Amino acid sequence: MQSVEKLGDLCGFTADRRTSFNDAALWGVAVSAWVLAVGGGVLRAAEPDGGALQLGPGAVVQPIGFEHVRWTDGFWAQRTGVVRHVAVPAMGQLMKSGLYKPFLEHFYIAAGQAEGDYHGAAWNDGDFYKWLEAAIAAVAVDDDAQLQALIDESIAAIAAAQREDGYIHTPVLIRQRNGDATAAPFQDRFAFEMYNMGHLMTTACLHHRLTGRDDLLAVAERAAEFLIQAFRHPTPQLARNSVCPSHYMGLVDLYRTTGKRKYLDLVEHLIAMRDLVEDGGDDNQDRLPLAQQREIAGHAVRANYLYCGVADLVVETADDQLAAPLAPLWDNWMTKKAYVTGGCGALYDGASPDGSAAQDQITRVHQSYGRNYQLPHTTAHNETCANIAGVMWSWQMYLLTGEAKYVDAVETALLNSVLAGMSLGGTDYFYVNPLRVTDPLPTELRYPRTRQPFFTSFCCPPNLLRTLAQVGGYAYSMSDDGVSVNLYGGNTLDTQLAGQPLRLTQTTDFPWQGQVTITVDACPADEFAVRLRIPAWARGATVSVNGKGFGGEVSLCSFLELNRRWQTGDRIELNLPMPPVLLEAHPLIEEATNQVAVRRGPVVYCLESADLPAGVDVAAVHVPRDARLTAEYESELLGGVTTVSLTGVVRDAPAWGEQLYREAKPRDARPVDLRLVPYYAWGNRGAGEMTVWLPVE
């Protein structure tokens, strides 16, 4: 494989330019082109271990590690290539340099190896751990000596900073080292100590799995031992520290990695402890005991982390009582509070339970799920971290049930609200993901409508990188009698089934085309099942094996099971029709009344002012309900995308000024040719207006 250095030479960049943030966008585009040309990197050879990460008795299906899936060409090869070759190295240098905040330097200060104070958000340790997780995943696919050196340096710094009793949280450690006698663990529930340690544990377990090394794992185990002691005798005050509880998932990971039951016992203990909270609120999901919760509310990241962590525990324990709230909560989200892009957490700020007769229970909420059907467009929050955590929760629900609807939700969010969080060049990010941008905005909002290289709250960018670096882990899953194909894209799967090699190759231009060919390159001799996910949008899907059509029913939002004695060279051909369609919203979503959105397959589209004639505002554009939609792949646009075109109508309106209401009068109409682009790619052509929802004519 050609090296990244050679790639820079081929693209005409000097070594100095390759490290310049100013050229990062161009560099990212060059990497995208190269990734498509050479095939997404070479997966380092690994001893076959089956690929399945063996989960507990609650799991209906088993995941397959991302390292067993190689994106070879097409969409995901391009996007993950940018992550590995541009985004992860650039963010590593940002975090080491202290350009914005001293992420790595904090660990040196905490260890007494440097002087200084803590400067940053309380969760910046967790941000650094998430970047480290992404970097570890990246070097598992492509050797990178410089990145590996930074990983090793980071692990050593983290280990040096850890206190002898296992406590590690640099804001407190630095205050202690600088002589602050009041600095102590768990004095502020919003210090995010548990959140940070949870991400440390998850990262350490991945590092051990991929490398066999124990240095970071030892740090994680010492942190877990500290938590065992710190929460041995819970109190209502201690119980309030489980804010944004990544530590549930981290401890479950630690149990799976080490086999030590005490870590699983600790998760059960910590979740049960939540019910001790007094005077809780919806913002942290502790107003009601977990067992009584049926409507999702409050801070969307905290909610999704909580329910994902509970689901992760249920996978290991098969605890039906603990599982009882999960499906109703997920259904409430999907049927009443989910954006068409898969985004979640509609509100910047609000109150919950809003409008309740029990006014003494109403608390302030932020970055929050709102009321049922409360889904604003322009002021939508949809934090990138919330969208990612929604993917994680949906995936855990799939592992628990094997139901295709949960993978449909994973795919929708990944291809729309999650991927939108990063620029095509790989170095700029969104914190929030609105569905409409106007000029001017109706009110001043906390986060910008253009992607930025840094936010003071830097949780989303590294979270996005670790998710995309491991997106292959969502592509397949396994059961005792077969393999399930969850996500479509050009890739190879190299794993084992029943102790025998199983190798599959997917060839497809998905999500731009719905034709998928799966070739069996190696397989067990005995009969086994290949299960194909048929998405809810794929009406008219067809399947054939070796040219012979499948004779049974192809049901939407399900897995189609093909059982046979497979042989090397067998070919499965799947056709998922994806004509562009107009969508309308439930009538109780008031902001979407008499509006439509465009979707093609799993991809949601939007209209940008960059694609309108000069002088035409996005707000003046209407769409005929019977509009003829056509799709076309444009290789030179936005890294190569399929666009949707139609003829719309422009109805100009006089300026409003300070009026709030006025008499409705007929407006002259004129036709306009419209080109819509995928939502994930919006905002890559400079600042401008954008909308997913358009008034229907």
Same domain, 455 and 502: no
Same domain, 174 and 299: no
Please say whether the beta carbons of 108 and 533 come within 8 A.
Answer: no
615 within some domain: yes
Which residue, 232, 265, 288, sits at the end of a domain?
A: 232
11 within some domain: yes
Predicted local confidence at residue 14, as pLDDT: 32
Helix (H, G, I), strand (E, B) or coil at 191: helix
Same domain, 507 and 647: no
Please say whether the beta carbons of 491 and 71 come within 8 A.
Answer: yes
Which residue, 421, 440, 472, sits at the end of a domain?
A: 472
Contacts of residue 181, Cβ cutoff 8 Å, sequence gap at least 6: none
Same domain, 105 and 144: yes
Q: Which long-range contacts (CB under 8 A, 24 or more apart) does 583-589 make?
A: 583/340, 584/696, 585/340, 585/375, 585/693, 586/373, 588/372, 588/373, 589/373, 589/375
> CA 29 → CA 35, 71, 142, 462, 464, distances in Å?
10, 18, 19, 20, 18
Same domain, 617 and 556: no
Q: What is the CA radius of gyration of the chain?
A: 25
Same domain, 209 and 140: yes
The CATH number for 548's domain is: 2.60.40
| Tokens 């902001």 belong to residue | 591
Largest CA distance in the chain: 76
Same domain, 221 and 166: yes
**Euclidean distance between CA atoms 280 and 350, whole angstroms:** 16
- Boundaries of domain holding 9: 1-38
Predicted local confidence at residue 189, as pLDDT: 87
64 within some domain: no
261 within some domain: no
Same domain, 121 and 222: yes
254 within some domain: no
Beta strand 436-437 with 363-369: parallel, antiparallel or unpaired? unpaired
50 within some domain: no
pLDDT averaged per 10 residues in sequence order, the chain, 697 residues: 32 33 40 38 36 88 97 98 98 96 97 97 97 98 96 98 98 97 93 97 98 97 98 92 94 97 97 93 94 97 98 98 98 98 97 90 94 97 98 98 98 98 98 95 89 95 98 97 98 96 98 98 97 98 96 93 98 98 98 97 98 94 96 98 97 90 93 97 96 96
Count CB neighbours of 89 within 10 A.
21
Same domain, 394 and 327: yes
478 within some domain: no
Predicted local confidence at residue 653, as pLDDT: 87
Number of structural domains the chain divides into = 5
Q: Which run of H or E residues covers position 352?
A: strand 347-352
Please say whether the beta carbons of 265 and 351 come within 8 A.
Answer: no
> CA 273 → CA 171, 173, 406, distances in Å?
25, 26, 29
Same domain, 559 and 588: no
Which residue, 518, 543, 575, sits at the end of a domain?
A: 575
Same domain, 378 and 435: yes
Cα-Cα end-to-end distance for the chain? 53
Predicted local confidence at residue 52, as pLDDT: 66
57 within some domain: no
Q: Which long-range contacts (CB under 8 A, 24 or more apart) does 263-269 make?
A: 263/224, 264/313, 264/316, 264/317, 266/224, 266/227, 266/228, 266/231, 267/309, 267/313, 268/313, 268/317, 269/231, 269/234
Same domain, 673 and 652: yes
Predicted local confidence at residue 200, as pLDDT: 98
